[in-house]
Amino acid sequence: MAYKVGIVGVTGAVGQEILALLASRNFPVEELRPLASARSAGKTIEFGGKTWTIREATPESFEGLDFAIFSAGGSISKALAPEAAKRGCIVIDNSSAFRMDPNVPLVVPEINAHALKNHKGIIANPNCSTAITLMGLYPLHKAFGLKRFFASTYQAVSGTGAAAMEELKKQVVAWASGEELETGVYPYQIAFNLIPHVDSFLEDGYTKEEMKMLNEGRKILELPELVCTCTCVRVPVFRAHSISVDAEFEKPVSVEAARKAIAEFVGAEVQDDPANKVYPMPLFYQNKVKCGVGRIRKNTAFDNGLALWVCGDQLWKGAALNAIQIAEEMDRQGLLKK
């Protein structure tokens, strides 16, 4: 069965990845409806051996679609996702607009695909760092029972968008040429620097991004009492996020059992042989479906604890890939057609 598919924000970094992944994963597309802002309307893109004209995203542009993937930011999602759903078009939304809405499933298919059947027209994609972190934590939760965790994220500039990736590139070139480095996307130079500031600050000193790890983690894992603290850092890496995790569990843990649990999980692979310098690095997790987990060791700070390191592609598992996996799972469950 083939589907009529809309992509909102098709010209952006995530939108381009969605197009490429739909093609490479052979998702059955009968009609592609590329949607963007008015300034992109009329331009064309190639997909599936055909040329498709970009339309302005308006409420009427969702008529007749089976589903649409939104990757154009929270304000666009808030304005247009309910309009699309009203017209019978299922929305898979990459923004934070609906993630904590109790009526909207927040889904990582490898973890809580069962939540999809309860959708009311809109499904939320989780925050990129949350999704990648849970690829390492979920199999350990199933094995040992997750109690609490501490995370420090090392987030690639792709999380800010295509302009941030270009800024990093230009700064590196300028540095190598002995020229002055210009800033614009970030308040400080990102090349050869770390910025402990992702998203806006809240009154308690945490950022919105840091609180997503706790709030979204609770919802996806269905653990309303889960305890977590997080520090998010922007790093001069183009597109793969890394997360350092210290987790405490209900049951006794071992490194061997942890490796086995991760190896058996469909969303991750074990890269953990420090003696031979084998561990996940963002350099090797660009354009990869699975996330990598390594540096697995007993945590020395508390009982039943593990320390680990997770890497994953921010544009894939953190955004475009997870959205398409949601669509694939909905296809399997027969939830996409009206």
Please, how many CA atoms are within 13 Å of residue 25, restricted to the half-sphere of its CB?
Answer: 21
Shortest CA distance to 193 belongs to which of 132, 228, 155, 234?
Answer: 234
Instruction: Count the neighbouring beta carbons within 10 Å of the beta carbon of residue 182.
Output: 10
- Of these residues, 128, 228, 291, 311, which one is catalytic? 128
Annotated active-site residue 128? The verdict is: yes
User: Which residue, among 294, 304, 211, has the nearest Cα to 252 in the 3D structure?
Assistant: 304
Q: What type of residue is 121?
A: G
Other Cβ atoms less than 10 A from the Cβ of 75: the count is 10
**What is the C-alpha separation between 56 and 69, in angstroms, rounded?**
15
**How many angstroms separate the Cα of 202 from the Cα of each of 78, 218, 265?**
22, 20, 35
Catalytic residue among 119, 232, 241, 291: 241
Determine the Cα–Cα distance for residues 254 and 172; give it in Å rounded to an integer.
42
The token pair at 231 is 């520090």
Give the 3-state secondary structure of 6-72: EEECCCCHHHHHHHHHHHHCCCCEEEEEEEECHHHCCCEEEECCEEEECEECCHHHHCCCCEEEECC
Question: CB–CB of 167/144 below 8 Å?
Answer: no
Q: What residues are annotated to the active site? A: 128, 241
